[in-house]
Every structure is written in C-alpha cells, then in structure tokens.
Structure 1
Amino acid sequence: MASQRICLITLVLFYAHFANVQSATSNSLSDCQAVASSFRTTINYTASNITATTGVNVTCSQSSLVCPGQTINGVCVWQRKLSAVCRNASGTIKIRIQTNGLPPRCADVPSGTFSELNVDFEVNFNPSVSINSLNQNFSSISTLSQTICTLTSVSTVPSASGFVSYGATLLATASGVSVDGVMIFSPDSANNIDPFYPPAGGTAESVDACLAHCQVSGVYHYHIATGCQVNPPTGNVSSCASTSACSSSVSSYSISSFSSYQTKTVIGLAKDGHVIYGPYLSAGTRVTSGFDACNGMFYDSNGNYAYFATSTYPYLAGCFGPANYPSFGPNCTTNGPSNYTMSSYALALLSNSTNSSTTVSSSNSTTTVSSSNSTTTTTRRSSSMAIHFNLNIFLLLLTLIVML
C-alpha cells in the first residue's frame, strides 16, 4: 500500500511539473533585457524627455551636407540620445524606447532638413501571437497592396501590443526603431511604392551608403536593413549612388552588409513589441522563405514571432502580423515575393494543434496539415485542452492517493 502511494505521489508531481513546462513565448524580463542590451543606449534609465538628456557626441567633417547639430570650424557635431528600458508591469513585461533619432555615425544628407526627434513609446515586449489567430488576412492582390503599399500601413498597432506613445514626434509612418536609434519606416516611399524597386512609371529614391535618408520634415530613417545598424562605420559616409555595389543592387548590398553577422542578430524593435532581426537565423541560414505577408516569421518551437530582414519587399516589417501566406505578391514593387510559405516551425505549430485537419486559406491556394483525431480551430484552444487534460489526470491521481 505504501509503495502504491509513493508511486501515485510521483505521478502527481510529474504531471504537475509537466503542466508548468508548456512551451511559451520568450517574453520574460530577462528576455526583454537581452534585446534592450542590443541597443546603443546613451542612458540606462527612462527619461522624462530624451532630448533633455546628455547624449554622445558624433562628429562629421563632410562638407556641403545638412547638419542636425552645430557646425564648429567646418565640422558638424550632434548628440545622439537613446534609451531602452524593460519593466514588469503587474506580470506584463514592457519595453520603453526613447530616441532623438540621430545616428551614431556620419550620414549623407545633401539637401533638405535633418532634425533631432523626440520619439518615446512603450509596448508589451514580444506579445504572444497565434498562427491560427491572424492580425492580417489578405484574400487578393488588391487587399494585400492596399495595406502593404501604403505609407501609413503601420500607423495602427494591434491592441494586444499595448502600444502607448509619449513623445512629441508622430509615428504614423514608422514601423519601429533601429538598435542605433534611427527610425525604421514602413517599406514605402511618399508615393506608396517600393522606394528601391518601384513599378513601371515610379522613381527610385536616393539613400546614403548606410541605406538611410531623410523625409521632408527631416526624419532620418531606414526602409531596409543595413550592417550600419549594428556596426556603425567611422569617417564619412558616401551616397549609395556613388558606391558601386549599392547602386547596382540595393537589396543584395543590404544582405551583404551582414557578412560578419551571419547569426540571429537584433537590429530593432517594431511598434507591436516584436523584435526585428537581421537576415540570418541562429544556425547561419539566411531567411529567404518562411515569412508571412507582413515579413514576420514563427522561428522556433515555442511560437516566438519576429520580423526578419529580407532581400525582397517589404524588406523589414510591412505590417503588423501575424498574417496569412497568400499565393501572390503586392503590386507596388518589382522586387516582391510571388508567394509566401510557412516556416517549418509554423507548420509544426499547426500540426501540434491536435487537429485531424487544420487549414489555412489564401485566395488561390490552401495549405492543409494533418494531425491526430479531432478538429480544433486554434492553438489557444488546443493548449486549453492540454491543460484541462493534465488537470483531470492530476485530480484523478490525487483522489486515488486520498483513497489509499
């Protein structure tokens, strides 16, 4: 009798432990702090006003360029200011980003304005999302293009992200912030087309060799990834047009600039709280597929979702996902994917939903993944079923112990 009781107690402890080790999104305080540490911060606290803090001086001796600071003896000097702080808000991990938007390097801005910003927002860090509960579901080229090919496609953030803006700089066209403090914009030009590979009749925009430029109000920003984000160059920065590798193929130049960072590298944070990574996974594999229509990807078995730098439009984050995987691309670019495919992890997440048939529909194609015996529509529901199943076993075993 005693040995039976010991065995049952052991089983109860096993199932109690099993119920607590279900795969979960990596959004703990330490996870957030690891990402925040990738930012080139100038302060380690949340300021009441980032522009009022003491920054780090950047000097640039390039002549005939717009200076966002002061010109002293022919040398442009400005201060960059950046903060990335995580906190636990009653069990929800939040990250607050504050930046004045100025880069930690020279920038080739030959005309117009180049201004200090006051960007300040807080968002839930890496919020859990489900492949079976999409934020975007595009059924046609028209609906996809109306969203992705719109400069303000990133103006509205999903409510689950808890996005709050505190700064004076408006963020309607910004999808996030780079680790160097420079803004990341939506993938579109002011004409709502790909700024690098426009369709017939469109005009490509000019950027510097770090693949950034200013818009009319002086906001210096990226539309595409660059190694300058993680490894700022020293000295003068030329234009893309005068850099042969850049002018011949902006998209190839973008990927090649990460030749020394062929692993999963944080390059920014999107306004929905998801991380933006460079073009490589941890194993050194370049991301050329597996992403959805927003350029987001489920990249591990825990269901973590992030945006990855790609050589195809929308290059970084085209909208806030997860989105579906249509069999067509947008019409505002000549460099977009013709279709989208799930990552192996996305397929596994569907398969693990305890379904006999889980179906994700596009407009023209349907991807079906077979699983076990019953039908469930969402990952959340299957997780709930697993928890109830474990709880029932736990209660049954506990009853047997009491009876013994």
Structure 2
Amino acid sequence: MYKLKPLLVIGFAYQLAAQQFTISSFVQTIDDCLRFGELIDYTYNLDITASLQKPYGNQYELVQCDFAGICPDSILKTTCVWQRYLSVDCSGSTNSPRIKIFSNSLPNHCYFAQTSYPIGSSSSYNAYGFDVAFNQMIGSMAIASQYGEDETVYKTNLRTETDLNSQLCSDSWSKASEVDSAAGYNEFIWDTNADQATGQWITEANAPNYPLLRMPNSNRIVGIALNGVFFFTGTSEQGYDAFFPKNYNLGGKVDKVAVDQCLGSAQSHNTYRYHMYSPCIYTGISLRDFPASCSLIASCDEDVTVYATKNTPVERRTITPIGLAKDGRVIYGPFKMNGDLWQPCDVDVCNGRLFGTSYGYVTTMFHPYTISCFGPGNKLYHAKVGCSQRPRECTNAVSLFSSFVISFGFIMGALALIF
C-alpha cells in the first residue's frame, strides 16, 4: 500500500488546494511562473516559506509502498521506502521569469518492478535539474529573428515522412543544444553529500559522487511531470513507438516498453519515467496505491490509451497543466476544454499548439504521446511515421485551421463560469 508519513499531510493539503487553479493558460510573467510552481507537488520550494515545505523543513519526502517488487536500493523486499526530491524556484524580472527544477524522478506513488528498478535510497538522494526561461513567448525566441514580421515562426520544420521518421522515431533527440538559445537553458546534477549542484553531467570520473544517478545524459528527457517524474519521448530505445510499435513495413515482432499500473517504467538507466500521460500524476486515484504490472491488468494490457483515459478523474478531463517541458513551456494533459481528447489536427509536429498567445505542448493518445520536438513546429498533412501503429496523421487541414488556436477569452470565460 502507498503510504505517506503523517508529517507530510500538511504539504499535501497545500498542494491539493493549489491545484484548483488548473484551467487558465500561462504567459511569460513571474506571477505565472509562481502560479505554475504552486501546482507542482514539490518537496522543496524556494519561493515558499519553510512552513510549507515537507516534512517540516526537510528537502525530501519519504515515500513507502508495499509489494512494489525490487526496491530502489536493489533489494527485493515486502516494503520499499525511498526519498523523493523535487524542488522548484522562480526568479527573474516581471516579464523575464526563469524557472529552475531539480528532481530525482522517483514517484510519489507506488511503482512495480520485477527486473529493472528505479534507483534510490531511504537515506539520501541525487537529482537532475535544469534552469530555463519560463514559458518563453514565440517573438522572444532567437529563431524568430530569422523570420519576417508577418511570417509564422517555426523552431522545427518537418516537410516529409523521412523528416518525421528521423525526428519522431528517435528516443534521444532532446539534446540541450536543441533548446532555443534565447531560453538560456542550463542543466545540472545535484550532489547531496556536497550540498551543491554542478553543470557537468555524469562522467566515468565523477560517477562515484552520484551513486543514485545512472543516466549518461539528458537526451531522453523531454520534460518533468508535476509530481517530479521525468517525461521521456514516446519512442523506445529501439526506435519504435513505446506502446504500439511497428517495424515500418519490414514485418517481425517488436517489443513494447514494459510499464506498471501508473504507466511508468524503469526499463533502462534505473530511472523511473513516463513515456506518455499518466493519470497517477493526480493524487486521490486508486492506481497510485496498488503496485502491479500493466500486463497483469486486463484493461491496461489491452490498450494503455483507453486505460489512461478511463482512470482520469472526471474533474481533470479538461485543459489541465501536467508538467514542464525542457524548453520551459507548459505541458498540458490529453483533454480539451470540453473533455474530448486532442486529435491529430489539433497539434503541430511537436505535439504543441497555441493557447491564446502562448505556445505549449499537449499529451496525446497517439504517437508521439508526449513531446516530439521543441516548437513551435509546422503542420504536416497526410504524412505519418513508420515506427508506430498509432501515428499522428492529420488529413483535414480545415479542421486544424479552425481549432489550432484556443481563444484566451474563451478560456477566461470558462473560468468565470467555473469559479
């Protein structure tokens, strides 16, 4: 059973209260950065007083789960206990905010591991982190200088199916160098014992200082969920759709990624992550409490997308932030304002779209599921990747033109009705 020590209840109450503000879109201001930070299920928030940290000033949260399989300390035990670390900090001026996030990617819910387990400890933690401009406006991007005043700005422009296959069927495209240079992206790793962060990634020489980190680089991380779990691409290390793989037209069986009841996996690098949207990002759902392999849950094994949709609380089936992308933009869940799922013509090649004047990403129930490139991206019609049985394919340009931009006024009008 998933358990939290009583000391942590106060912190959770604060987070749940903060999550009431989940429908309005975000712009590039320090106030919106702080508002977004309040949605994060942090263990340490430099923008909040110590009384709201959990537990009572400690920078980590102790999580306990029974029958999870192999524990983060690599031992098979009845009860697993681990330190979860997730810090957030907003800084900068009113209209030039920056956000810094550190996480060890260990979940705030139960996981299940029979072979590959997420590495961690009940007495220590190491963490990955990045610092980047928050919710950068398109006009302030470095790439924007290459376009005329009336031209549409594209950070990524894919024109053919070959382009699509090269980008979307890669599991490690998310290199630091791919983030727009004006976002000022920096990444770090955290040494708990030395109580300091370094900009140098893990090497053979410094690996002993970071025993709880196993990723050689951040190229597979496209973002961080509100609960601190990393979002990876929706493509496996083999270069196929993580859930509905297809070997182009060559035939033969291709394995999918093994996930647990929360659609998380630690199949490589001893790092827990999501390759798609997980309803376990939200507190208060039963999936979080009972560890199991997805393959042993009939509805999950049959179709993870249907499983994820049906296990999402009804009140969350609207436009809801669920994470932060590596380029500093907000990641939203798979639902539109009316509760319908995003469709292929609703998004660009990066799985992004405009929310008012701000660009953001959405998770989808078709490949690439999460983020497939840093946007804004172009729209490509009648083209699909060969590595997925569930590819994104937009065949209706009129639909995309009419639905691509969500009016900020419409969102605010809906908020007025709700609140």
Q: Please say if residues 29 and 94 of structure 2, whose CA atoms lie closer than 8 Å, have aligned partners that are also in contact.
A: no
- Among 56, 60, 63, the alignment partner of 1:55 is 60
Residue 163 of structure 1 pairs with residue 185 of structure 2: yes
Equivalent residue of 2:256, what SS?
coil
Specify the alignment match of 2:328 in structure 1: 273
Q: Please say if residues 176 and 184 of structure 1, whose CA atoms lie closer than 8 Å, have aligned partners that are also in contact.
A: yes
Residue 207 of structure 1 pairs with residue 259 of structure 2: yes
> How does 1:61-100 map onto structure 2 within 5 Å?
61-62=66-67, 65-69=69-73, 74-89=78-93, 91-100=95-104
Equivalent residue of 2:34, what SS?
helix
Q: Please say if residues 264 and 272 of structure 2, whose CA atoms lie closer than 8 Å, have aligned partners that are also in contact.
A: yes
The Cα shift of 1:89 comes to: 4.8
Greater gyration radius = 1
What is the CA RMSD across the aligned residues, in angstroms?
A: 2.7
**TM-score for the superposition, normalised by structure 2:** 0.70
Could you tell me which runs of 5 or more consecutive residues in structure 2 were left unpaired when the two chains were aligned. Answer: 1-24, 48-56, 121-125, 140-150, 190-200, 202-214, 408-419
Q: 1:53 to 1:163 in 2, by over 3 A?
A: farther
The Cα shift of 1:291 comes to: 0.3
Over residues 320-350 of structure 1, what are the superposed CA-to-partner deviations in whole Å (9 max), with x where a residue is unaligned? 111111111111111012227535364699x
Specify the alignment match of 2:219 in structure 1: 172
Specify the alignment match of 1:362 in structure 2: none
Specify the alignment match of 1:122 in structure 2: 131
- Among 349, 362, 366, the alignment partner of 1:293 is 349
Specify the alignment match of 2:298 in structure 1: 244
Q: Distance in 2 between matches of 1:293 and 1:299?
A: 16
Q: Please say if residues 69 and 79 of structure 1, whose CA atoms lie closer than 8 Å, have aligned partners that are also in contact.
A: no
Q: Distance in 2 between matches of 1:115 and 1:73?
A: 14
Q: Distance in 2 between matches of 1:111 and 1:347?
A: 44
Could you tell me which runs of 5 or more consecutive residues in structure 1 were left unpaired when the two chains were aligned. Answer: 1-23, 47-51, 350-404
The Cα shift of 1:285 comes to: 4.0
Equivalent residue of 1:58, what SS?
strand
Q: Distance in 2 between matches of 1:74 and 1:62?
A: 5
Letter paired with 2:131: E
Over residues 294-334 of structure 1, what are the superposed CA-to-partner deviations in whole Å (9 max), with x where a residue is unaligned? 1001132xx21111121110111111111111111111111
Residue 256 of structure 1 pairs with residue 303 of structure 2: no
Q: 1:166 to 1:235 in 2, by over 3 A?
A: same
Specify the alignment match of 1:217 in structure 2: 269
Q: Please say if residues 291 and 343 of structure 1, whose CA atoms lie closer than 8 Å, have aligned partners that are also in contact.
A: no
**TM-score for the superposition, normalised by structure 1:** 0.73
Q: Distance in 2 between matches of 1:26 and 1:59?
A: 37
Residue 336 of structure 1 pairs with residue 383 of structure 2: no
Q: Please say if residues 226 and 257 of structure 1, whose CA atoms lie closer than 8 Å, have aligned partners that are also in contact.
A: no
**What is the percentage of aligned positions where both structures have the same residue?**
27
Q: Please say if residues 199 and 334 of structure 1, whose CA atoms lie closer than 8 Å, have aligned partners that are also in contact.
A: yes
The Cα shift of 1:283 comes to: 4.2
Q: Please say if residues 354 and 406 of structure 2, whose CA atoms lie closer than 8 Å, have aligned partners that are also in contact.
A: no
Q: Distance in 2 between matches of 1:184 and 1:73?
A: 27
Q: Distance in 2 between matches of 1:90 and 1:348?
A: 25
Specify the alignment match of 1:142 in structure 2: 162
Specify the alignment match of 1:352 in structure 2: none
Q: Distance in 2 between matches of 1:153 and 1:59?
A: 34
Over residues 255-282 of structure 1, what are the superposed CA-to-partner deviations in whole Å (9 max), with x where a residue is unaligned? 2232421122111100011111111234
Q: Please say if residues 135 and 329 of structure 2, whose CA atoms lie closer than 8 Å, have aligned partners that are also in contact.
A: yes
Equivalent residue of 1:269, what SS?
strand
Equivalent residue of 2:346, what SS?
coil
Over residues 175-215 of structure 1, what are the superposed CA-to-partner deviations in whole Å (9 max), with x where a residue is unaligned? 01111111111111011110111114322121001111013
